[in-house]
Structure 1
Amino acid sequence: MSNRFYVTTPIYYVNAEPHLGHAYTTIAADVLSRFYRISGFETFFLTGTDEHGEKIVRAARASGESPGQYVDRISGLFRDMWPRLSISNDAFIRTTDEKHIKTVQAILSAVKENGDIYFSEYEGPYCFGCERFLTEREIVNGRCPDHQTEPEMIKEANYFFKMGRYQDWLTGHIHDNPDFIRPERYRNEVLSFLKEPLGDLCISRPKSRLTWGIPLPFDDGFVTYVWFDALINYLSAIDYPGGMRYETFWNVANHVVAKDILKPHGIYWPCMLKAAGIPPYRHLNVHGYWNVNEGKMSKSLGNVVRPLDLASVYGLDAFRYFLMRDMVFGLDSEFSEEALVGRINADLANDLGNLVSRSLTMLKNYLKGEPPLCGVTEKPDDEVREAALASIGIYASQMKELAFHKALMTVWEVIGKLNKYIDTMAPWVLAKSDRGRLSTVLYHISEALKIVSALIWPVMPGTAERIQEMLGIRNRGISFTLEDAAGWGARETEIQMTITPALFPRIEKGKHPGEKKKTEVRGKDSEMETRDKTSVPDKPRADVKPDKNIDEKAGPDLISIKDFARADLRIGKVKDAEPVPGSRKLMRLIVDLGPELGGERTIVAGILGAYEKEALLGRQVVVVANLEPAKLMGVESRGMVLAASDSNGLHLITADTAAEPGSKIK
């Protein structure tokens, strides 16, 4: 295949407003389009709206509008939403467009002339939600499984497409092209359908029942069945027949759809194309459902989530990342706001956000914004370079297979290696002892970050471009290709690195981002700090009375082993650090204490001025984990970080080698 890529979403039925299911399909197509663009492919990305049929008439009547007014309004909601979700489609098609209507009628005429359309009377179970007759095998417990309604028996005369004529051809084509429908489970599902006689497809509705549709070119008393109309959008949008876009893109067409419309796309559409003498599309890519309250997300069932609400609360790129990371393409996934917040805090705030913050802060502070230079490398440097460069090819292979979650896991492996590399190399120490080595370490960090920024761009374009701006990369976003990212060390001169606020602030449990916290101030800094169970005191606290259980024989300055054992000392890993507003000494730390103790918790420590943020991130500390919570300057602290104090200042106590967060100190 040539270096061209054509990706489509379904054209969305405008019987209700957009929901999370629409957003996922469109973002998935957008991610593919962006990936192929930075891979050097000529790309065309299509989306749009499906605006004919009985459900549209019913919805318009319910809203007090004409069908034309109604579809204009709802189609506008879809069109307006996509830029707000960073969707980069090249075209937006409507089935009410004159160009589309003419293309549908031309294909109907061609299929009729080929002898594949006939007129007949038919009676059978009809689902108004699906807008089609159902076969007996499709009905579950007397109901349509998608809409949970009982189909009605309808008898009427209509035009039919001889779809059964192409059953053997379609079966053979799927066997000969194993990736025609993917993932494999949906290929097998279509082949299972094809084991039974396919039958013919009713492609019209009498105007006595429905007038809102495209008139048949050979009988003005009928309008076109909505699926025969809608599927042709993939051709009309690229100027079929004979248009340059059709000649350029049709043989690399990739449809992205949800599994509820597998049958129309996997069976009706290839047969229609064959009957019209048009080659089949390249791939049908089928994803699962987002489930809410243990049911498929559906407008007709009412369990919808508004995507713009989520994006506005939690951030657009965070929302896009969650959708791509948490759904395995092809399988169902359960949506919850709790899972979204957990993913933001763990992957974006802790891993990516901290990496970028600490890296750019060190580049700015230690090198004054000048690009780092690479000196003699050591084994850890080479390992970082090799891992980052290797990730590009692995990521690309996974993206081509629509394994979005795996591709992101590949990127996060690099992010994890970089965070570990920083912890091991300790640039804050090198800044005082070996400036040449410091520059080499920062060089490897910045070059690897360049690769990370390119790999996350299809999913999080805004975040990627901010990182690229901070790194001083002139060609950003779509102009910074995977080939550019692979050019390790091919940097422009006179790079000016800048610092911006945190990419992904942590979200406190039970609070939405941006929600103001109540601050309770009861005294001066010094007064607060002497009451702080989590700060490092300058002298013993005079207000603490001796415990009655202390062994009297041990003497006034001694405690028994029993009393010492009451302190639950654990290894913690600092995930975030920031000054407490209004305090001269307090820092708010997010410390990971491992799964046994519930993961991360907030600890306030009196170490501001002794340690900079970048020196704390990723650092292992010793924590007294079973202290009662205390509120300091309005921030609840749940533990104490231990440090030693002498004439040279404070010294955090740590393990001499890496230990798992939550490890007990004995």
Structure 2
Amino acid sequence: MSNKSFYITTPIYYPSAKLHIGHAYCTTIADSVARYHRLAGDDVFFLTGSDEHGQKIQEKAEAQGIKPIEYVDGIVAEFQKLWKMLNISNDDFLRTSQKRHERVVQEIFRRVYDKGDIYKGAYKGLYCTPCESFWTELQLDENGCCPDCGRPVKEVAEEAYFFKMSRYADRILKHIEDNPDFIQPVSRRNEMINFIKQGLDDLCISRTSFDWGIPVPIDEKHVIYVWFDALTNYLTPIGFLDDEEKFKKFWPADVHLVGKEIVRFHSIIWPCILMALDLPLPKQIYGHGWLVVDGSKMSKSLGNVVDPVELINKYGADAIRYFLLREINLGQDGNFSELALVQRINADLANDLGNLLHRTLNMVKKFQQGEVLAAQGRSEIDENLIADAMAAVKTFDEGMGDMKISSAIKGVWAFISRANKYIDETAPWALAKDPAKQQELANVMYNLVESLRIISVMIEPFMPTTAEKIWQQLNMPKAFADVRLDDIKAWGGTTAGMHIGEAQQLFPRIELEKDEAPDKKAGEKVKTGKQAKGEPGNIDSDEITIEDFARVKLQVVEILAAEPVPKADKLLKLKVNTGAEEREIVSGIAKHYECSELIGKRVILVMNLKPARIRGVVSHGMILAASKGDALEVVSVDMPVGSVVR
């Protein structure tokens, strides 16, 4: 059991508008990592909050005829409501308008000023109000606009205080080059190295053209400019000024999790400020990718901004959390689709996880009057299940410890699939009919309950409500809040003689109404019902419409493994890489190919075909092939895995 401290932060979000699904994604990542470290026994501090000062907020408040604090109060309340809906387990919520933070910011300004690293000058340059960023003409995009957001900049000229950031350029460059894990993923690290090598200017850290901000302690005509105020939020709640023991415990931060667009501020400006304060640098800056909708970044003008509150009300928080964490590899951009969300709920949550729990509890109740009997002896199948369980725990532990969240989830779900397969292999319903096999039946029931005990703990960082529901339905004696990772690192934690609870449905299967289903664009609908024979679009007629064809999702995949399906002359079981996951496919091509011929082939897969069980194997998709007479050949292409066939 670990007793080390672990400090993780999200960026503090700007309350100029309500949060969208991308903000929910970032905070859910941080929450899952914090929950994992608590499971591991670490002393965790998890911080999120709101960045409330600046010209943009003041202008929006003035336009509504209210004070800036009144404007942000309403929006921040919605932030906190959303985090509660998503079961975010943050230990503090820092608002930069709070007095505790003002004290910290002003003290930091004084210390850096007294060191000689802040001076007064005049600023004349180009300023982007939405991004709160200054730019040189060389840094503007090809349209002469802000390189970050593409909006127009305006020329400003005013007296300002500057931080001598250029003084620390060599030191921060050396730190980044000497510490490969400091900035993740690697692509972000390379961008930052190139940015520094172009030369660092001193940083403008005060403004006089507006007054919604923290006053400069030595010159109250000025307010402290946003980044010098916002970045220091990470020091305030851990006792920088008022609790030396707490500060030593949690600083430096283990992970600052931020969107890729603000990695530069966190990995260059923030470390330079910390160097000026003679404080250690955070251990890691992790820049996650963006969530896009239909391949486009969310924007009001496109009308594709996804509201997480609507989704949570419709599908539940755990389903949203699971989808976001599983679907996207941390550090890469990810696509959001409501249809893909529904498919995940049905396939992974209702079918795989929900059915495993429901079948297990019902069989224990039916065959053993709800009692979990002691296991005695192990078959080879039992040994394999137990080995797979322990391997899954190891994969989960290593993946979460290394911020490979999607991989960790896939490892857990591989074991869920394995446990479902174990039911088919052992056929408890047949064992129950044979009085001589009662101990074998007891072993199978024990192993399934123990598998679910382990699964419930592993899914807690991703799906905290569902995890506890499973624990309660199993009727485990230990309080779920007291469970730790060490409790599942050995097989056999289920107490023989205990009675299981009542089986309740975790995730009802979402049956799409006959005439509508979620489209790729969140909230839009698409017809799915059959039309009268002969009408355009009727799939039973000779002709189809482009809409009918568009419903079939075709993608390039690579065959990783192939083996014959037992007792089936025509069938091969294929394992394929889709670029996002591995799937098993059953294909009727055994008479046309040797298994070795198929390995490495890039073929076209029907991705959204409803999974079907064929000879005991769940086939998730269909490989395209061309045939004429007795000849058959799979359709292979020389394109990257994941390429979409249109």
Q: Smaller-chain TM-score range?
A: 0.7 to 0.9
1:230-281 per-position Cα deviation (integer Å, ceiling 9, x unaligned):
1111101111036132111112431111011111111110000110111111
Structure 1 residues 264 and 300: alpha-carbon distance in aligned structure 2, compared to 1, 3 A threshold = farther
1:642 equivalent in structure 2: none
Q: Mark the CA change 1:660 to 1:161 in structure 2 (over 3 Å): closer, same or farther.
A: closer
Report the residue type matching 2:409 in the other structure.
L
Pair 1:295 & 2:296 matched: yes
Q: Which amino acid aligns with 1:187?
A: R
**Partner SS for 2:156:** strand
Partner of 1:201: 203
CA contact under 8 A between 2:121 and 2:161: conserved in structure 1? yes
The equivalent position to 1:600 in structure 2, one of 604, 610, 617, is 610
Mapping for residues 473-488 of structure 1, pairs under 5 Å: 473-488=476-491
- Tell me, yes or no, if the aligned pair for 1:37 and 1:478 is still in contact at 8 Å: no
Which of these residues, 476, 491, 507, is aligned with residue 504 of structure 1?
Answer: 507
Report 1:30-109 matches (<5 A): 30-109=31-110
The CA distance in 2 between the partners of 1:175 and 1:398, in whole Å, is: 25
Q: Once the two structures are superposed, what CA deviation does each residue of 1:403-449 show, in whole Å capped at 9, x if it has no partner? A: 11100010011011111111111111111122111111111111121
State the one-letter code of the partner of 1:148: G
Q: Which has the larger radius of gyration?
A: 1
Equivalent position of 1:472 in the other structure: 475
Deviation at 1:44, TM superposition (A): 0.7
Deviates more, 1:339-348 or 1:239-248: 239-248
Within 2, Cα distance between the matches of 1:216 and 1:662?
A: 62
Equivalent position of 2:188 in the other structure? 186
Q: Given residue 371 of structure 1, which amino acid in structure 2 is its aligned partner?
A: V
In structure 2, how many angstroms separate the alpha carbons of the residues matched to 1:487 and 1:42?
23
Alpha carbons of structure 1 residues 480 and 386: separation in structure 2 relative to 1, 3 Å: same
Report the equivalent of 1:112. Answer: 113
Query: Cα offset for 1:663?
Result: 9.7
Rounded Cα–Cα distance in structure 1 between residues aligned with 2:158 and 2:313: 49
CA contact (8 A) 1:457 1:477 kept: no
1:469–1:476 Cα contact (<8 Å) kept = no
DSSP 3-state at the match of 1:366: helix
Superposition deviation, residue 38 in structure 1 = 0.4
User: What SS does the aligned partner of 1:432 have?
Assistant: coil
The residue that corresponds to 1:171 in the other structure is 173
Letter in 1 for 2:375: C
Q: 1:596 to 1:96 in 2, by over 3 A?
A: closer
Distance 1:196 1:305 in 2: 37
Shift of 1:662: 8.8
Output one character per residue of 1:295-351: Cα deviation in whole Å (capped at 9) or x when no partner.
323579864211111011011111100000111111111111111111111211121
CA separation in 1, counterparts of 2:337 and 2:494? 42
Give 1:308-387 correspondences, 5 Å limit: 308-387=309-388
- Residues 150-549 of structure 1 aligned to structure 2 (within 5 Å): 150-206=152-208, 209-241=209-241, 243=243, 244-297=245-298, 303-433=304-434, 434-492=437-495, 494-509=497-512, 510=516
- Separation in structure 2 between the aligned mates of residue 463 and residue 193 of structure 1, nearest angstrom: 44
**Unaligned ranges ≥5, structure 1:** 513-569, 572-591, 602-617, 621-654
Question: In 1, Cα distance between the equivalents of 2:329 and 2:228?
Answer: 30
CA distance in 2, matches of 1:62, 1:366: 69
| Cα 1:184–1:663 shift into 2, 3 Å | closer
Shift of 1:46: 0.8
8 Å CA contact 1:289–1:297 kept in 2: the answer is no
Q: Which runs of 4+ in 1 moved over 6 A?
A: 299-302, 592-598, 661-664
1:129 corresponds to: 130
1:351-396 CA distance string (max 9 Å, x none): 1111111112112211111113212211111011011112112211
Distance in 1, matches of 2:606 and 2:13, equals: 46
- Aligned CA distance change for structure 1 residues 31 and 663 (closer, same or farther; 3 Å): closer
Shift of 1:29: 0.7
Q: Which secondary structure state, in structure 2, belongs to the residue aligned with residue 600 of structure 1? A: coil
User: In the TM superposition, what whole-angstrom CA distance separates every residue of 1:209-247 from its partner, at most 9, and x where no partner exists?
Assistant: 101000001111100001110111110111103613211
Q: Deviations over 1:522-573 (max 9, x none)?
A: xxxxxxxxxxxxxxxxxxxxxxxxxxxxxxxxxxxxxxxxxxxxxxxx99xx
Query: Is the alpha carbon distance of 1:339 and 1:598 closer, same or farther for their aligned partners in structure 2, counting shifts above 3 Å?
Result: closer
Residues 198 and 339 of structure 1: CA distance in aligned 2, closer, same or farther (over 3 Å): same
- Equivalent residues of 2:160, 2:207 under 8 A apart: yes
Rate the CA distance shift 1:298–1:192 in 2: closer, same or farther, 3 A: farther
| Letter aligned with residue 224 of structure 1 | I
Give the C-alpha shift of residue 499 in structure 1.
2.4
- Structure-2-length-normalised TM-score: 0.79
> Which residue of structure 2 aligns with residue 515 of structure 1?
none
2:6 is aligned to 5
Distance change in 2, residues 1:619/1:337 (3 Å): closer
Amino acid in the other structure paired with 2:99: E
Rounded Cα–Cα distance in structure 1 between residues aligned with 2:260 and 2:27: 14
1:358 partner amino acid? R
Quick check: 1:34–1:478 contact (8 Å CA) kept in 2? no
1:438–1:74 Cα change, 3 Å: same
> Are 2:449 and 2:494, in contact at CA under 8 Å, matched by a contact in 1?
no
Deviation at 1:61, TM superposition (A): 2.5
CA distance in 2, matches of 1:287, 1:400: 16
Q: How many Å apart are 1:62 and its aligned residue?
A: 3.2
Which shows bigger deviation, 333-342 or 242-251?
Answer: 242-251
SS at match of 2:433: helix
Q: When the two structures are superposed, what TM-score results if normalisation uses the length of structure 1?
A: 0.76
Q: Distance in 2 between matches of 1:226 and 1:327?
A: 31
Distance, in Å, in 2 between the alignment partners of 1:99 and 1:202 is: 24
Q: Counterpart of 1:47 in 2: which secondary structure?
A: strand
Paired residue type of 1:218: I
| Contact persistence 1:146–1:260 (CA under 8 A) | yes
**Structure 1: how far apart are the matches of 2:128 and 2:90?**
33
Distance 1:658 1:399, change over 3 A: closer
Paired with 1:375 and 1:335, the residues of 2 have a C-alpha distance of 48
Distance 2:106 2:620 in 1: 66
8 Å CA contact retained: 1:7, 1:29 = yes
Equivalent of residue 145 in structure 2, options 128, 143, 146:
143
Once residues 621 and 26 of structure 2 are traced to their aligned partners in structure 1, the CA distance between those partners, rounded to angstroms, is 40
CA distance in 2, matches of 1:413, 1:50: 40
- Cα separation, 1, equivalents of 2:214 and 2:418: 58
Tell me the secondary structure at the aligned position of residue 231 of structure 1. Answer: helix
Q: What letter matches 1:407 in structure 2?
A: A
Q: Is the 8 A contact 1:254 1:284 kept in 2?
A: yes
Aligned to 2:599: none
| Structure-2 residue corresponding to 1:585 | none
Give, in whole Å, the separation in 1 of the partners of 2:237 and 2:105.
11
Corresponding letter in the other structure for 2:373: P
* SS of equivalent to 1:237: helix
